[in-house]
Structures are given as structure tokens and as C-alpha cells.
Amino acid sequence: MNTTEARLQLSRARTACLIALAALTGMRKSELAELTHDCRLPPEQLGEGRVRYRLKGKVIKGRKLGGEHDQWVTIKQAYDTAGVAASLADPVKNDGHLFKSLSFFTPYEWFLIWVNGPDGRRLGLAPIPEVPVSLRMLRRTLAVEMAHRPGGLLAAKIHLKHISVVTTEGYADRPGGPSRC
């Protein structure tokens, strides 16, 4: 593998980390941009077989200038993905952040072409449907999945850090909330 191919593989791995973190956490683009190489807080043991995984970062939207520090409770897969992203990041070039840039569309298109191409098939990767995808769509998809579970509308509101449940209802396509269930 030459230097160019190695750089392309690193870029693909970083893109995969960004997609996974966006889909699994529901973080906004601005929140993903604020994740640093040390964003993983130590796991908390809550009892036998129960562990809480948390990521620290900043919420920018609707907060004072510069944002406010906050935490996201997440699943182990997202926690591990943040660890992989940290190991792939250049802390000097990225100013300590996991991702140097959050331009999504072009890296996603290149990732899609690679996964669906001969290299992806050779590696046994499942093809990705060629439909438009954005970070916002991944966030809204998570909101829908969360909101349609018992108690999920409130859980989604808290997890997505919405100020009003009305916003969450809109994301989840559930105007009127639980009364429609």
C-alpha cells in the first residue's frame, strides 16, 4: 500500500466513525465538531452487567456564545467508535478534535463508492443504498426510533437536548405526543 492509498484508507475510516457516531448518538453537526480526542469519560459501573458510557462535548445550538459543556450517555458501540476516531485523529492538525472537518457530503459519497465498489465487495461489506444521507437525517432517524418506544418521546427529548418536547414531536413525526399512540 502506498502513501496515497494509506491516506485514503484513513479518510474512509474517519468517515465511517463520523457516520456511526452521528447515527448512534444523534448529535448535531456542531456537537460532533466539538468532540475532542479525550471525549470518552470513564465507564460507570451501575451494577452487575450494567455500564454507563458517556461522551463529553459541547452543545452550541440555543446556548450562550461558545456553547456549554455537556455529556451524552450512549451505547458501547458509539463509545468505542469515539475511541477509534481518537486513535485515527491527528491531535495537532485537528486542534485536539476528533474530526478536522465536518464536511459530510463529499466524504460520504467517496465512502459510498468505495463500499459499493470492488474493494468493498472483496472485503464482504454490505452495500449501502444509494439514497441521499445527511447528518441531520441520521439525527432525525434516531429520534423516530426512540420516540416510538414506550416513554421514548421524553427520552428522545432529553437525549437530543431539545428545549421543548414540541421539537422532538416534530422530529419523530408525532404531533400531539403520546396521545396518538
Domain count, the chain: 2
- Which residue range(s) make up the domain with 32? 3-102
In-domain check, residue 125: no
The 8-class DSSP code of residue 79 comes to H
The pTM of the whole model exceeds 0.85: no
In-domain check, residue 129: no
Evaluate whether 176 touches 167 at the Cβ level (below 8 Å).
Answer: no
Do 92 and 149 fall within a single domain?
no
Do 93 and 148 fall within a single domain?
no
Using CA atoms, how far residue 118 sits from 3, 106, 123, 124, in Å, is: 20, 19, 9, 10
Give me the amino acid identity at 95.
D
Evaluate whether 82 touches 35 at the Cβ level (below 8 Å).
Answer: yes
Q: What is the pLDDT along the chain (181 residues), one digit of tens a residue?
A: 888 888 899 989 999 999 999 999 989 898 999 999 999 999 999 989 899 999 999 988 877 887 889 899 999 999 999 999 999 987 677 788 888 777 888 899 999 999 999 999 999 999 999 998 988 888 888 888 887 788 877 777 777 776 667 777 776 665 554 444 4
Do 68 and 147 fall within a single domain?
no
**CB-neighbour burial class of residue 148 (10 A; exposed 0-12, middle 13-18, buried 19+):** middle
Evaluate whether 58 touches 69 at the Cβ level (below 8 Å).
Answer: yes
Do 72 and 147 fall within a single domain?
no
Q: Is 13 helix (H, G, I), strand (E, B) or coil?
A: helix
In-domain check, residue 127: no
